[in-house]
Chains A and B, each alone.
Chain A
Amino acid sequence: MNESRRDFLKKSGCALGMAAIATQMHHLGAMSALAQRSISRQGSLLSGADEGYKALVLVFFAGGNDGNNMVIPIHNDASVSNYAAYSAARNTQGLAIPQASLLPISVPAIGGLSYGLHPSLGPVSGQPNNGIYGLWALGKLAVVSNVGTLVRPLTKAQYQNASYQKPSQLFSHSDQIAQSQTAVANTESFTGWGGRLSDRMTPLQPPAPNDPLIPMITSIAGSQLFTSGQTTLPMAIADSGTSLANVLNPAGFTNTGGAARKVSFDQLRGYDWDSNYIRAASDVTNLALQANNALQSTSEVTVSFPNTSIGRQLKQAARIIKERADLRVQRQIFFCQVGGFDTHSNQLNTQSNLLTQFSQGVRAFYDEMGVQGVSDNVTLFTMSDFARTLNPAGSGATVGTDHAWGNHMFVIGGSVQGGNFYGMPTANGTPFPTLTIGAAGPDDTDSNSTARGRWIPTTSVEQYASILAKWYGLPQDAPTLASVFPNIGNFDTASGALNFLL
């Protein structure tokens, strides 16, 4: 019989150690019919030693990153939007980044035309490393362009026709974050796509005594919908400011009466489960204490990480990856976050600072993965609430932008087919949207005087996510795919335009 998480936690109470819990956790999923099918199809997918390890690392740009100022055309080809088109939309209000300061990249998918990355993504004075710009030339950095929430592909005419289904509550932070993290845009979902991926993949891991000692998902940025599965729960821990040994370790119990106190402390979590809230709180603590036993490690990463929030988050992820053998994990998903992208005002400095922190932290992480010998096994990718309007909000020193839609994402790692743009073609035939506002702009939502330059996405969140999940090892049979990405059937996932991972 398939058992719920509740069942085994209830049965296990607080007396069982982590290994026993993990065994049951394994069994609960492993016996589901779906997993059975997956196992027989995949064989020893996750068996074997280190070379089977794979990790996905999500860096979420919270607040809605302005992709329009992160990836910018440098070229002068007017047939696809050029720098002049970009500048015309933003320079008057003071938001255009000077052409000469952009970090040039040549894009094979757009005829080798030159585009530019935000200057903060390269070497920055006073920063410890050279940033992620150099990874483009190494072929380890890809851009997936014009990605966003969709229920099904949508043209401009369809968008403006009320009878076509659009994501609910477009342009609202909370809803668009939720839809990005759940990969479900037509209704509310209790689970995130990372969590559902974990639900499906956790049973494929080896059984006891080789079973993993910590959950498949780790959030280093608090409780996130992305990480919530239906049958698996994430571990959420503090960043590298706290050592792994201390991150889930309850203090005390060494003074007078400490041993007796620990006994009762553990007992109490098994009582009063007739209250669902008490039970839910006890569940979380149980999970923490189980993982704590496995995290008593003192080893440290080699590369120097910047002391920023994202730097510390990625450093903590790198520490765990370094412990992968002892933790017996073969698949891991990490959630990290950079906040503060909701730049309705003061965008130039704010975004520059945030992208610097991102770039510096990610480069340190990439280099550390190289030192650990797992560059090809770890793929880092970005998401955000949404993009921001091409048309600025305000002007001058405090200029900003408002909420928009389709946005550019980075994918970074040894397995990435980098140095190129990916994404389903926009109206101009390339993955990159046409930077024209209003009636003349084929990718803008609106045609009237209130149009601001909000790109209708051409690549949906689930198209983007499903490629990552496929690389991660998600069985590709239709029922399994649909169990993680319910609307995937509405989209083309076989297109070479999305082939950004080896």
Chain B
Amino acid sequence: MFSLRRGPVNFLWLATVLFTVAPLLITAQVDPDPNSPTPVLISIEGAPRLLTYQALKSRKHSLARPSLDFIRPSGLAVMFVANLDLMEGEDAGAFRIYARDEKGRTYRFPVVDLAPTPDQPGVYAITFRVKDEIGYWPEPIARGDLVVRLSWRGLSSNELLLGYGSKGGRLSTEKNLKSSSLNDFHASESPSPDRATSALAGIGYRRSGDRRRFLEQATFGPTLELDARVRRLGLRVWLGEQFNKPYPSAAYPYPNISLKSTNTDDIALGCGPAPVPTTLEYRICIRDHYSMYPVQKWFFSEALYGDAQLRHRVAWALSQIWVISGIDTQQSSWMLAYHKALSQNAFGNYRDLMKAMTLNPGMGNYLDMARSTRNNPNENYPREVLQLFTVGRFELNQDGTLKFDAINNPIPSYDQETVNNFTKAFTGWTLCNTGCPSSATGIQNYKDPMILTNQGSNHDLTAKTLFTYPGAPFANIPACTGCTGTARDTYARNSLEQTLDNIFHHPNVGPFVSKILIQHLVTSDPTPAYVSRVAGKFNDNGYSVRGDLQAVVRAILLDPEARGDVKTDPNFGKLREPVQLLTNLARQVGIKGANASGLSDGVVVGQTTNLGQNAFNSPSVFNYYPPDNVIPGTALLGPEFKLLTTGTSIGRANFVNTMVFSQIGISENSPLGTSLDFAELQGIAASDTTSSLLVDALNTRMLHGTMSASVRSSILTAVNAIPSSNPLQRAKQAVYLVATSSQYQVQR
């Protein structure tokens, strides 16, 4: 049987809490070296050509076999890779093989198997099929070499030639390809030579690049203070601290906005009829109650200055899964109640989050469950809860890849008949307009959870056929024919719990939710192995608890694919969404009010709106961008790229221009305004007439040390075109160039 109550708190984390209450006692947490070794593909002797031959059934792939000049299209072949440091259970799904043809088109070859070689310790044979699995371009033409490389944990191997159908062709003359035969490669070298000494090498978590990357993933942007704290505590202890931080931060409590009449003109419970001429009082009444303004202002204030960054970040990600939008949510108080329910469960259990969202009245309005009755059922919530919030459209393996049927088609997770049945299960709930804490005459109670109407009188009492999968709880909810009174009441309540359990235990939920959260925090196209490790934690946090979101978040942020000072896999990373672009820039440079030294008021949403992300006003339940968005003209998965068009790419540059060379001025709705604070960078610029220190500081703060030599040189030239007597302008010049660069727009 399934335990319906889950205990998200476990002993390990209690221990962590005990540690973190006395952080002064802790000088450092021993975090392992975050840098995985870089995989090395083995070439034939003396030439930059992949050592390869047709795969054998036995999996005994000896390096001693003679290499083939070419592999036939669709054939199964092996390649050899060294310099790995595999975790337990890490298998073929951790690797990706990319091939590039002479047209520059990239293909991906499916990795079939990973096995140690019998004759060389530390060298692995990888079996792959020479067939594109992306399908964006037609299969490459078999007339010569492809350039292949392998990636693992966000790190790219060397590149080598692979004969595809035949050997030779234009790519054979490509520069930068070097042989890496076994003789050149000394397997005896430790893949991570400083692993054993890192904890002794100094105080704290010294990995500057990884610290910054970690904070880009876990917060709304690294600051000097946060960076120092993570250095002192280490990643794991810092996570434990964040899991238990009061939220929202004491300085930025949720705005306390009262429910109003749905009729804005109502004199007593609305804002009254619009006066002519308009008055400040009226405008503020409308703004604060009938728009998302207070939610947005609070949200950005917490993001810019709050100290419960991780919960804020995860709640923001969850709000882009369980979407409700101000477009159909009349009042800010409704959205705030929704966000409270979301954030309270952000580090709890997913099953509890599912129930809180299902009965949230804002959601009930947005997706119509509050109006769905047995006689007039509404399919909106049932369909989207399955498609977008929990299970997804197709059956998944634990690693997030699609399952296929006998004729190689993806298997739909459900059909219209399923939706009809779930629709019945979700009928009969409505707003609590009497008897709940926020119930009052004349207003609709969009704060308190929805309640069952009249002991279930609007609930469909017929049988429901739900998901069937191995071990599925409540796959069939029997009818309650003729039930009345408390029997009906109990039946309807149980039906809801059972329905949520039936969804929650669907094997898709772990990989589905895990992959989207990885995409929001770390990278757009995680390897199946990464998804599988996180989904494994979703399925069981180690204490037989399913759905523990703390365990999921920890697994996402501490995974070897997420960690490391630098990532070289060309397909690693993600475009910063507009909200993250704004908050990261603000926190990395410094942020204050306009014309003064005080704090920003947080009224900045106009900037992200221009870039396609009007926070809390998603265009639809499908969020600002879908998790499966493919970048036009490529085969790259890139959700946030949905928001990057010719128009918004220039918009991003113009946003940076506004922030760097101007400011968000003071106005009626922006009492303090917002501007970047250049004081510190100006000081750095003034201290070094060569500007090296300035550019290096931005490299560390904004690019976590990955600025390439050509970028650095270009920016230095532009900065030094300004006289050293003007260090403020120099600092602005440098920040503008880093912040507008694609190198910064992409979080890697």
Contact = CB atoms under 8 A, between A and B. Distances in A.
Contacts of B622: 173-174
B573 A268 contact: no
A168 B104 contact: no
A271 B393 contact: no
Candidate in B378, B383, B393, B650 with the most chain A CB atoms within 10 angstroms: B650
Interface string A244-259: 0001111110011101
Given A261-B736, A265-B740, A222 B612 contact: yes
Contact of B620 (A10, A228, A265, A339): A339
Interface string A152-175: 000000000000000011111111
Interface stretch (B236-244, B466-474, B631-639): B631-639
Contacts of B630: 190
Given A235-B646, A393-B378, 19 more contacts: A10-B104, A168-B412, A172-B393, A231-B633, A236-B646, A250-B653, A250-B654, A256-B729, A263-B714, A264-B715, A268-B714, A272-B742, A275-B572, A275-B573, A277-B638, A292-B650, A340-B327, A345-B378, A403-B383
Contacts of A252: 654, 657, 661, 736
A171 B383 contact: yes
B558 interface: no
B631 to A, nearest CB: 5
For the side of the interface on B, what is the size category?
A: 35 or more
B746 A230 contact: no
Contacts of A261: 718, 721, 733, 736-737
Contacts of B654: 250-252
B619 interface: yes
Contacts of A37: none
Interface in B696-748: 708, 710-711, 714-715, 717-719, 721-722, 726, 729-730, 733, 736-737, 740-743, 745-746, 748
Interface stretch (A99-107, A278-286, A427-435, A484-492): A278-286
A229 B740 CA distance: 27
A4 B138 CA distance: 13
What are the 7 closest A-B residue pairs judged by CB atoms, nearest first? A236-B645, A260-B721, A288-B646, A264-B718, A228-B632, A281-B742, A344-B380
A6 interface: yes
A392 interface: yes
Nearest to B629: A223
B641 interface: yes
A219 interface: yes
Contacts, number: 246
B619 A394 contact: no
Contacts of A264: 714-715, 717-718, 737
B368 interface: yes
A272 to B, nearest CB: 5
Nearest to A220: B647
Contacts of A171: 383, 416, 419
A3 interface: yes
A237 B648 CA distance: 8
Contact of A271 (B419, B635, B708, B746): B708
A6 B570 CA distance: 15
B659 to A, nearest CB: 11
Interface in B352-385: 367-368, 371-373, 376-380, 383
Contacts of B104: 4, 6-7, 10
Contacts of A235: 646
Given A272-B708, A284-B646, A256 B722 contact: yes
Contacts of B646: 234-237, 248, 284-285, 287-288, 291
Contacts of A344: 367-368, 378-380
A268 B741 contact: yes
B171 interface: no
B642 interface: yes
Contacts of A393: 368, 372, 376-380
B647 A288 contact: yes
A342 B137 CA distance: 35
- Sorting the interface of chain A by its residue count into under 10, 10 to 19, 20 to 34 or 35 or more gives 35 or more
Contact of B103 (A2, A62, A272, A277): A2
B742 A278 contact: yes
B286 to A, nearest CB: 20
A260 B612 contact: no
Interface of B: 103-106, 135-137, 327, 367-368, 371-373, 376-380, 383, 387, 393, 410, 412, 416-417, 419-420, 524, 568, 570-575, 612, 619-620, 622, 626, 630-636, 638, 641-650, 653-654, 657-658, 661, 708, 710-711, 714-715, 717-719, 721-722, 726, 729-730, 733, 736-737, 740-743, 745-746, 748
A260 B620 contact: no
A275 B714 contact: no
28 contacts: A1-B103, A2-B103, A93-B376, A229-B632, A229-B633, A236-B647, A238-B647, A248-B647, A257-B721, A257-B733, A260-B722, A267-B710, A268-B711, A268-B715, A269-B742, A275-B570, A276-B106, A276-B570, A277-B574, A281-B575, A284-B645, A285-B646, A344-B367, A393-B368, A393-B380, A394-B376, A395-B376, A403-B379
A237 B645 CA distance: 8
B203 to A, nearest CB: 33
B571 A276 contact: yes
Nearest to B424: A450
Contacts of A406: none
Contact of B742 (A6, A249, A285): A285
Nearest to B386: A172
A422 to B, nearest CB: 28
Contact of B380 (A168, A169, A263, A402): A402
B525 to A, nearest CB: 9
Contacts of A3: 103
Nearest to A291: B646
A250 B740 CA distance: 11
Contact of A345 (B371, B573, B742): B371
Interface string A384-401: 000000001111001010
Contacts of B710: 267, 271-272
A420 B570 CA distance: 54
A108 B25 CA distance: 88
Contacts of A236: 645-648
Given A233-B632, A257-B721, A223 B645 contact: yes
A477 interface: no
A93 B719 CA distance: 68
B737 A268 contact: yes
Contact of A394 (B371, B524, B740): B371
Given A250-B650, A281-B742, A281-B745, A345 B376 contact: no
Contacts of B568: 274
Contact of B644 (A247, A259, A275, A281): A281
Contacts of A27: none
Nearest to A271: B710
B401 to A, nearest CB: 14
B412 A169 contact: yes
A66 to B, nearest CB: 14
A5 interface: yes
Contacts of A238: 647
Nearest to A28: B103
A8 B591 CA distance: 41
B649 A285 contact: yes
Interface string A306-332: 000000000000000000000000000
Interface string A444-460: 01100010000000000
A63 interface: yes
B390 to A, nearest CB: 14
Give the residue among A10, A62, A264, A265 with the most B Cβ atoms within 10 A. A264
A63 B384 CA distance: 13
A392 B717 CA distance: 66
Contact of B387 (A172, A229, A288): A172
Given A257-B733, A278-B746, A233 B573 contact: no
A10 B633 CA distance: 14
